[in-house]
Amino acid sequence: MKKQVMISAVIAGLLSPLAAQAQFAKAEDAVKYRSATFVVMAAHFSRIGAVVKGEKPFNKDEVAANAAVVASLAHLPWQAFGPGTEGGKALPEIWKEADKFKAGADKMEKAIAELNTAAKSGNLDAIKKTFGAAGQTCKACHDNYRKK
Ligand code: ASC
Protein backbone atom coordinates (compact mmCIF):
# COMPACT_ATOMS: atom_id res chain seq x y z
CA MET A 1 0.00 0.00 0.00
CA LYS A 2 2.72 2.38 1.04
CA LYS A 3 4.65 1.54 -2.09
CA GLN A 4 1.58 2.13 -4.25
CA VAL A 5 1.08 5.56 -2.72
CA MET A 6 4.71 6.38 -3.39
CA ILE A 7 4.46 5.25 -7.00
CA SER A 8 1.31 7.33 -7.48
CA ALA A 9 3.04 10.34 -6.00
CA VAL A 10 6.02 9.91 -8.34
CA ILE A 11 3.73 9.59 -11.36
CA ALA A 12 1.73 12.64 -10.30
CA GLY A 13 4.98 14.55 -9.89
CA LEU A 14 6.13 13.58 -13.35
CA LEU A 15 2.83 14.52 -14.93
CA SER A 16 2.30 17.83 -13.15
CA PRO A 17 4.40 19.95 -15.55
CA LEU A 18 2.18 18.61 -18.33
CA ALA A 19 -0.99 19.64 -16.58
CA ALA A 20 -0.47 23.26 -17.61
CA GLN A 21 -0.08 22.15 -21.19
CA ALA A 22 -3.37 20.95 -22.56
CA GLN A 23 -3.61 17.69 -24.36
CA PHE A 24 -5.95 17.73 -27.30
CA ALA A 25 -6.20 14.78 -29.64
CA LYS A 26 -7.33 16.93 -32.56
CA ALA A 27 -7.19 20.63 -33.44
CA GLU A 28 -10.97 20.54 -33.56
CA ASP A 29 -11.03 19.52 -29.88
CA ALA A 30 -8.91 22.53 -28.96
CA VAL A 31 -11.23 24.82 -30.94
CA LYS A 32 -14.27 23.38 -29.14
CA TYR A 33 -12.59 23.66 -25.76
CA ARG A 34 -11.60 27.30 -26.12
CA SER A 35 -14.96 28.27 -27.67
CA ALA A 36 -16.80 26.58 -24.81
CA THR A 37 -14.76 28.39 -22.16
CA PHE A 38 -15.43 31.73 -23.86
CA VAL A 39 -19.16 30.99 -24.12
CA VAL A 40 -19.49 30.18 -20.42
CA MET A 41 -17.26 33.09 -19.45
CA ALA A 42 -19.34 35.51 -21.55
CA ALA A 43 -22.57 34.23 -19.97
CA HIS A 44 -21.32 34.99 -16.46
CA PHE A 45 -19.56 38.21 -17.42
CA SER A 46 -22.70 39.57 -19.05
CA ARG A 47 -24.74 38.78 -15.90
CA ILE A 48 -22.44 41.20 -14.09
CA GLY A 49 -22.86 43.55 -17.05
CA ALA A 50 -26.61 43.62 -16.57
CA VAL A 51 -26.08 44.80 -12.97
CA VAL A 52 -23.45 47.35 -14.01
CA LYS A 53 -25.85 48.76 -16.61
CA GLY A 54 -28.66 48.91 -14.06
CA GLU A 55 -30.79 46.36 -15.93
CA LYS A 56 -30.73 44.01 -12.95
CA PRO A 57 -30.73 44.79 -9.22
CA PHE A 58 -27.38 44.60 -7.46
CA ASN A 59 -27.07 41.41 -5.49
CA LYS A 60 -23.59 41.34 -3.99
CA ASP A 61 -23.42 37.54 -3.62
CA GLU A 62 -24.59 36.87 -7.17
CA VAL A 63 -22.07 39.29 -8.63
CA ALA A 64 -19.33 37.72 -6.53
CA ALA A 65 -20.33 34.22 -7.65
CA ASN A 66 -20.36 35.26 -11.32
CA ALA A 67 -17.01 37.02 -11.00
CA ALA A 68 -15.49 33.93 -9.37
CA VAL A 69 -16.64 31.79 -12.30
CA VAL A 70 -15.20 34.25 -14.80
CA ALA A 71 -11.94 34.49 -12.85
CA SER A 72 -11.37 30.75 -12.82
CA LEU A 73 -12.35 30.31 -16.47
CA ALA A 74 -10.10 33.17 -17.55
CA HIS A 75 -7.07 30.92 -17.08
CA LEU A 76 -8.33 28.18 -19.34
CA PRO A 77 -8.74 29.10 -23.01
CA TRP A 78 -5.10 30.01 -23.70
CA GLN A 79 -3.80 26.45 -23.43
CA ALA A 80 -6.12 25.59 -26.34
CA PHE A 81 -4.38 27.97 -28.78
CA GLY A 82 -1.39 25.69 -29.25
CA PRO A 83 0.52 25.25 -32.50
CA GLY A 84 -1.59 23.74 -35.26
CA THR A 85 -4.95 24.54 -33.66
CA GLU A 86 -5.96 27.29 -36.08
CA GLY A 87 -9.69 27.38 -36.72
CA GLY A 88 -13.04 28.46 -35.39
CA LYS A 89 -13.34 32.19 -34.87
CA ALA A 90 -9.61 32.57 -34.26
CA LEU A 91 -7.69 34.65 -36.81
CA PRO A 92 -4.30 33.35 -38.04
CA GLU A 93 -2.66 36.47 -36.52
CA ILE A 94 -2.84 34.72 -33.13
CA TRP A 95 -0.12 32.31 -34.24
CA LYS A 96 1.84 34.96 -36.14
CA GLU A 97 1.88 37.33 -33.16
CA ALA A 98 1.96 34.79 -30.34
CA ASP A 99 3.76 37.17 -27.92
CA LYS A 100 1.29 39.96 -28.52
CA PHE A 101 -1.62 37.58 -28.15
CA LYS A 102 -0.15 36.24 -24.89
CA ALA A 103 0.30 39.79 -23.60
CA GLY A 104 -3.39 40.48 -24.33
CA ALA A 105 -4.38 37.28 -22.53
CA ASP A 106 -2.28 38.20 -19.48
CA LYS A 107 -3.83 41.66 -19.43
CA MET A 108 -7.29 40.12 -19.53
CA GLU A 109 -6.54 37.67 -16.71
CA LYS A 110 -5.20 40.53 -14.58
CA ALA A 111 -8.25 42.73 -15.27
CA ILE A 112 -10.58 39.84 -14.45
CA ALA A 113 -8.70 39.19 -11.20
CA GLU A 114 -9.26 42.85 -10.29
CA LEU A 115 -12.96 42.52 -11.09
CA ASN A 116 -13.06 39.44 -8.86
CA THR A 117 -11.43 41.36 -6.00
CA ALA A 118 -13.92 44.20 -6.43
CA ALA A 119 -16.82 41.74 -6.57
CA LYS A 120 -15.69 40.10 -3.34
CA SER A 121 -15.58 43.51 -1.66
CA GLY A 122 -19.16 44.17 -2.74
CA ASN A 123 -18.37 47.78 -3.67
CA LEU A 124 -20.55 48.55 -6.70
CA ASP A 125 -18.46 51.51 -7.84
CA ALA A 126 -15.34 49.35 -7.84
CA ILE A 127 -17.25 46.60 -9.65
CA LYS A 128 -18.37 49.06 -12.35
CA LYS A 129 -14.87 50.38 -12.82
CA THR A 130 -13.14 47.01 -13.00
CA PHE A 131 -15.92 45.53 -15.14
CA GLY A 132 -15.39 48.29 -17.72
CA ALA A 133 -11.65 47.78 -17.72
CA ALA A 134 -12.05 44.01 -18.08
CA GLY A 135 -14.51 44.45 -20.94
CA GLN A 136 -11.92 46.58 -22.74
CA THR A 137 -9.42 43.75 -22.58
CA CYS A 138 -12.01 41.34 -24.07
CA LYS A 139 -12.75 43.82 -26.82
CA ALA A 140 -9.09 44.52 -27.64
CA CYS A 141 -8.51 40.85 -28.37
CA HIS A 142 -11.75 40.48 -30.32
CA ASP A 143 -10.88 43.48 -32.48
CA ASN A 144 -7.47 42.07 -33.37
CA TYR A 145 -7.84 38.32 -33.24
CA ARG A 146 -11.44 37.23 -33.72
CA LYS A 147 -13.22 36.77 -37.04
CA LYS A 148 -16.02 39.28 -37.48
C1 ASC B 1 -19.31 40.64 -22.82
C2 ASC B 1 -18.95 39.66 -23.74
C3 ASC B 1 -17.77 40.02 -24.29
C4 ASC B 1 -17.29 41.27 -23.68
C5 ASC B 1 -17.00 42.33 -24.70
C6 ASC B 1 -16.63 43.62 -24.04
O7 ASC B 1 -20.30 40.63 -22.10
O8 ASC B 1 -19.61 38.57 -24.07
O9 ASC B 1 -17.10 39.36 -25.18
O10 ASC B 1 -18.36 41.65 -22.80
O11 ASC B 1 -18.12 42.51 -25.53
O12 ASC B 1 -16.41 44.61 -25.01
DSSP state of 148: -
pTM of the model: 0.85
For the CA of 135, the closest atom of ligand 1 is 6
Task: Domain of residue 39: give its range.
Answer: 2-145
Which residue's C-alpha comes closest to atom 6 of ligand 1?
135
Is the pLDDT reported for residue 139 higher than 70? Answer: yes
Which amino acid residue places its CA nearest to atom 3 of ligand 1? 42
What is the domain count for the chain?
1
SS3 90: strand
Burial annotation 89-107 (CB, 10 A radius, 16+ → b, else e): ebbeebbeeeeebeebbeb
Residue 16 — pLDDT band, cuts 50, 70, 90? very low
Average pLDDT over residues 29-58: 98
- pLDDT tens-digit map of 116-134: 999 999 999 999 999 999 9
Give the CATH number, domain containing residue 33: 1.20.120.10
pLDDT at 11 over 90: no
Greatest CA separation for the chain: 59
Question: Which ligand 1 atom sits nearest the alpha carbon of residue 142?
Answer: 9
CA of 42 to the centre of ligand 1 (A): 6
8 Å CB contact between 94 and 101: yes
Q: How far is CA 81 from CA 65, 74, 126, in A?
A: 27, 14, 32
Measured between alpha carbons, how far is 35 from 77 in angstroms, rounded to an integer? 8
Query: How far away, in angstroms, is 112 Cα from ligand 1 center?
Result: 12
Task: Give yes or no for residue 29 having a pLDDT over 50.
Answer: yes
Coil, strand or helix at 34? helix
* Ligand 1, CB cutoff 6 Å, lining residues: 42, 45-46, 49, 135, 138-139
Which residue in 105, 114, 106, 116 sits closest to 133, CA to CA? Answer: 114
